Amino acid sequence: MKKILLSVLMAVAVTFCCCAQSTTFDKSKAVKDVKTKSFGTKDSTALIKDMKMGWNLGNTMDATNGTSLNSEVSWGMPKTTKAMIDGLAKSGIKTIRIPVSWSNHLIDDKYTVDPAWMARVKEIVDWAIEDGMYVILNSHHDCYNRNSKMPYGKGYYPTSQNYEESKKFLVNVWSQISLAFNSGYDEHLIFETMNEPRLQGTAHEWWTDQNCKECLDAEETLNKMNQDVVNTIRKSGGNNAKRYIMVPGLRAAPECATSAGFKLPQDTAKNKLIVSVHMYTPYNFAMETPGIKDFTPRVKNDLAVSLKGINDKLVAKGIPVIIGEYGATNKGNLEARVEWFNFYISKCRQYNICAILWDNGQSAADPKNGEKFGYYNRKTQTWYFPEIIKAIVDNSK
C-alpha cells in the first residue's frame, strides 16, 4: 500500500515538476502586488451565477500596433477611462473581460514585460474591481501567426516544434502577471490562460480534424501549455494558489473543449478551473456577411442545440463554462438581433453559463464587414442599441 501511495505522489510531483520552468525576466522591473484581501469561499457554480453576464474591452489592451502605451488606442478605440468603466457598472454589467496582448510589450531578451504597460493594465483592472465587477484577465493576441519555427518573444504556438519557446513566453509572462495581481485581489479577479490558441497560417486554423496528425499534435501541445500556465499561477502562492482560472481548447471552440483530446490541467486547487469557449452561433446569423438577417426557427434551433451541447457535455458533468466571447454582427436587423440576444442569454442563465459580449467599437452596419460588434459608446457611456443591453441585463437576473 505504501509503495502504491508513493508511486501516486511521485507521479503527481513529476506532472508539476516537469512543467516547471525557471524564469528569466528582470525581476527588478516587475510590478508587485503589495496589498492583501481575503479570498471568498464561493464554489464555481455560485461564482458564475454571481458573474451574470459581461462585456469585453475589445480592440484596446489587446491591440498590437503602436509602441508602449500608445498601442491601447492603435486600433481606433479611445483611451480607457474610469468614467467608461463606471458607466458599464451602472448599466448593469457585472463582469468585464480585459483582453491584453503581452508579446508586443517585451522590453529585453529575457521576456521582461514593460512595467509601464503592466501598471496601465493594473489601473484598469482596479477601476473595475472598485466598481464591484468581476474581471477576467488574459493573454490575448499572443498566438503566433505563422506555421513555422517561432522566434523569441512572439508568444505561443500550439505545435510540438514550438512548445519550448511557447513555454518560456507563457511561464515568464504569467509569472509577472501573478506578481502584479495576487493577494490584493480576491475571487473577483479571474485569470484566463490564452485566447483562441490555434494553428494560424494553416488550413486547420478554424477547423480541427480529429484524423489530422497536425491537429492532434496541436491539441496535445495546448494541454501542456495550459498546464504550464496553471502551474505558474499556483506556484506564485497567496490568493493565486486558489484563484479561478479559465482554460480554452483549440480555437476556444466548444467542439474542441468537448473532444476526447482536450484535458483539463491537473490542479492543486479544488474546483477552480473553468472551461473557456467562444460562441458566435449560428455563424451565418451571428457573423457571416451577408449570411442571413432573420431570427428564424432554424437559427433559434441551431443556437439551442449548441448551448445544450455545452451544458450536457460540460456543465452538467460538473465542469463550469464561461463563454468569453459572443455577439451578433449588425446587419441592420435590430429586431432580429434583440430576439437572438433574448434567447441566447436566457438559455445561458438556464444552464448557469456566463457569457461575455464581444465589443470592438464598430457599431454601424456594413454589408462587406461581418465584424460589426460595437455596442457601448465609450465616449458618452451610452449604448448604441439600448434594446440589446436591456435584453442582456433583463435575462441575466
Question: Which pLDDT does position 67 carry in this prediction?
Answer: 81
DSSP β-ladder status, 134-138 and 95-98: parallel
Instruction: Give the orientation angle of helix 115-130 with respect to helix 82-91, to 10 degrees.
Output: 30
pLDDT tens, residue by residue, 357-389: 999 999 999 999 999 999 999 999 999 999 999
Catalytic residues: 140, 196, 325
Report, as an integer, the average pLDDT of 127-156.
Answer: 96
Measure the CA–CA gap between 196 and 279, rounded to whole angstroms. 12
Quote the DSSP letter at residue 315: G
* CA–CA–CA angle 316, 319, 324 (5° rounding): 110
Are 378 and 78 in contact by the 8 Å Cβ rule? The answer is yes
Closest alpha carbon to 176 in 268, 102, 273: 102
37 exposure class (CB count in 10 Å sphere: 0-12, 13-18, 19+): middle
Measure the CA–CA gap between 247 and 256, rounded to whole angstroms. 12
HSE-CB for 255 with a 13 A CA cutoff: 8
Model confidence at 35, pLDDT cuts 50, 70, 90, reads very high
pLDDT over 50 (residue 11)? no
pLDDT over 90 (residue 8)? no
Q: Mapping DSSP to helix (H, G, I), strand (E, B) and coil, where does residue 327 land?
A: coil
Alpha helices in 52-183 (DSSP H): 82-91, 115-130, 163-180
Give the total residue count for the chain: 397
pLDDT over 60 (residue 164)? yes
Model confidence at 291, pLDDT cuts 50, 70, 90, reads very high
pLDDT over 50 (residue 107)? yes
Measure the CA–CA gap between 155 and 195, rounded to whole angstroms. 11
Asked if the peptide bond before residue 282 counts as cis, ω within 30 degrees of 0, the response is yes
* All cell numbers assigned to 289: 456577411
pLDDT tens, residue by residue, 296-342: 999 999 999 999 999 999 999 999 999 999 999 999 999 999 999 99
Question: Which pLDDT does position 12 carry in this prediction?
Answer: 42
Bigger pLDDT: 394 or 147?
394
Question: Which pLDDT does position 19 carry in this prediction?
Answer: 42
Measure the CA–CA gap between 39 and 184, rounded to whole angstroms. 9
Are 225 and 197 in contact by the 8 Å Cβ rule? The answer is yes
